[in-house]
Structure 1
Amino acid sequence: MRAPLSGRRILLTRVKPDDAIARALRLAGARVDALALTVSTPLDSAQLDAARDRLVDGEYAWVVFSSWRSARAVADALPRARSLGTRLAAVGEVTARWISDHAGVSADLTGGGSAAELLQYFPAPDSGARPILIPRSALAPDTLPEGLRALGWSVEAVDAYTTLPAGAGDIDADIAENFRAGYYDGAVLTASSQARALPPLLGLPPPSTRVVTIGAPTAATARRQGIAVAAQASSPTPEAIVCALVDALTRPAQADAPEERNS
């Protein structure tokens, strides 16, 4: 059976070791180039240090992680916190697996890959419950803390890392030239930070390059940058991204008016 993306040229705008999305795209027959448009940098602050100390002392009912980078910031404190009754939640399987592999503890609750889905399963607090800690990106939206507060939790959200655009000198010149020339049939954006970095680093995608995003927040950010989004994955999984690309590349192009920048 012919692979659904056989011969298609796809740009994946991130670089990760053994990337599950890149692997799924190649298994579907695509030729994949990976290019990191952003760089993540750990942050140090008195607030984060204090949160780690309270975590070690078991002062949080839960720690909620939206990415492995946020887990990395407090990984050394997790075994002790777990022994004192702190429970762990991860937005998706990748983050949960990182916690297990690097901290030696398992998540008590794992969502389907989005903050909104995790919130659907999160319990309400008991009377007098300890607060929740959310180590997170400095650029993260407030979906998780606001959703948990709406459930009745006291929440401490602490910036653990930030994401910046890659330097122009770090961009592969051949990939950049190919992108601008319309070489790629599709491009995959897996984070809002990538959507913001794409136009200044590579320019807007040519009309022949169909852009697929990992979800609605990334799609909304992309449109605000003037990027036409052909499709968004139905869930933040490699398989859903493959399906979205297949859909985008096999149906006629449709106009996708970008959102107004001041919206």
Structure 2
Amino acid sequence: MSAPLMSAPLCERRILLTRAKPDDAIARALRLAGAHVDALALTVSTPLESARLDAARDRLADGEYAWVVFSSWRAARAVVSSLPRARSLGTRIAAVGEATARWISDHAGASVDLTGAGSAAALLECFPAPASGARPVLIPRSALAPDTLPGGLRALGWSVEAIDAYTTAPVAADDCDADIAGNFRAGRYDAVVLTASSQARALPPLLGLPPPSTRVVTIGAPTAATARGQGIAVAAQASS
């Protein structure tokens, strides 16, 4: 890769991104802005298959839900094969964050009807109340997800089916790149980017708290809240 342009806004800045994905959009944007980016996955996600999830996929494809609601791309991935047909039968799609909405558009070829800016609470603020006799709402989700979204929708009057579609756990300490871990602890990164609450929980036990010289940027209000709860000082928060 060519050296960062000297006029780029993040020229020569060293950034640690706490996830590792092929063609990561955040890593790509940071590099285009001139940053040197290291990616280190702090967590690993595992799909959870069940008879209940299989049945929900079939019901979704048959148009039996008024809405399907996603708080992450991993949740959408669990039912992605059912989305085009569900969409054609009138099921509407809601997503937390623009990144989740983009993933759905790119991988399911389906438009998203409603997007909350970076948190379940933001989505709930704009979610409509149900009409009389409305079909239920499906929420495929992480097994670690709080009940903010299903609870909020039930409070609006919706019947909600929330189903665990994947779970996330910290990686083993031995799987963390020793050079990256050492650079982090030595304060050689200008910033660390946390994109999910699971990463915020995994950071202190795996790498320790960020040194004072390393600014912490989070994606979404829930990630920021989790980070602060772990004793991590958050310098900035992005919506997606």
TM-score computed with the length of structure 1 as normaliser: 0.83
2:57 counterpart SS class: helix
Match of 1:23 in 2: 28
CA distance in 1, matches of 2:213, 2:195: 20
1:163 pairs with 2:168: yes
| 1:57 corresponds to 2:56 | no
Q: Is the Cα contact below 8 Å between 1:215 and 1:232 reproduced in 2?
A: no
2:239 aligned residue: 236
Aligned partners of 1:152 and 1:131: how far apart in 2? 10
Shift of 1:35: 0.7
SS in 1 for 2:64: coil
Structure 1 residue runs without a partner (length 5+):
238-263
Cα distance 1:129–1:68, how it changes in 2: closer, same or farther (>3 A)? same
1:97 offset after TM fit, Å?
2.5
1:177 aligned partner: 182
Residue-by-residue CA offset, 1:225-262 (whole Å, 9 max, x unaligned): 23232x231x423xxxxxxxxxxxxxxxxxxxxxxxxx
1:197-229 superposed Cα distances (whole Å, 9 cap, x missing partner)? 111211222222222222332222222223232
Is the 8 Å Cα contact of residues 134 and 156 (structure 1) preserved in structure 2?
yes
1:92 aligns with 2:97: yes
Corresponding position of 1:258: none
**Which residue of the partner structure matches residue 194 of structure 2?**
189
Aligned-residue CA RMSD (Å): 1.8
Q: What is residue 218 of structure 1 aligned with on the other side?
A: 223
Counterpart secondary structure, 2:16: strand
Please give the secondary structure, in 1, of the residue aligned with 2:101.
Answer: helix
Give the corresponding residue for 1:115: 120
Q: Matches of 2:107 and 2:222 in 1, distance apart?
A: 29
Q: How far off its partner does 1:158 sit?
A: 0.7
- Count of aligned positions: 235
Separation in structure 1 between the aligned mates of residue 178 and residue 61 of structure 2, nearest angstrom: 46
Q: Which residues of structure 2 form unaligned runs of 5+?
A: 1-5
Change in CA separation of 1:215 and 1:79 when aligned onto 2, cut-off 3 Å:
closer
**Structure 1 moving runs of 4+ over 6 Å:** none
Give the secondary structure class of the aligned counterpart of 2:202: helix
Matched, 1:133 2:138: yes
Letter in 2 for 1:119: L
Identity across matched positions, percent: 83
**One-letter amino acid of the structure 1 residue matched with residue 154 of structure 2:** R
Correspondence for 1:81 among 83, 86, 97: 86
Which position in structure 2 is the counterpart of 1:40? 45
The answer to whether the Cα contact below 8 Å between 1:88 and 1:106 also exists between their aligned partners in 2 is yes
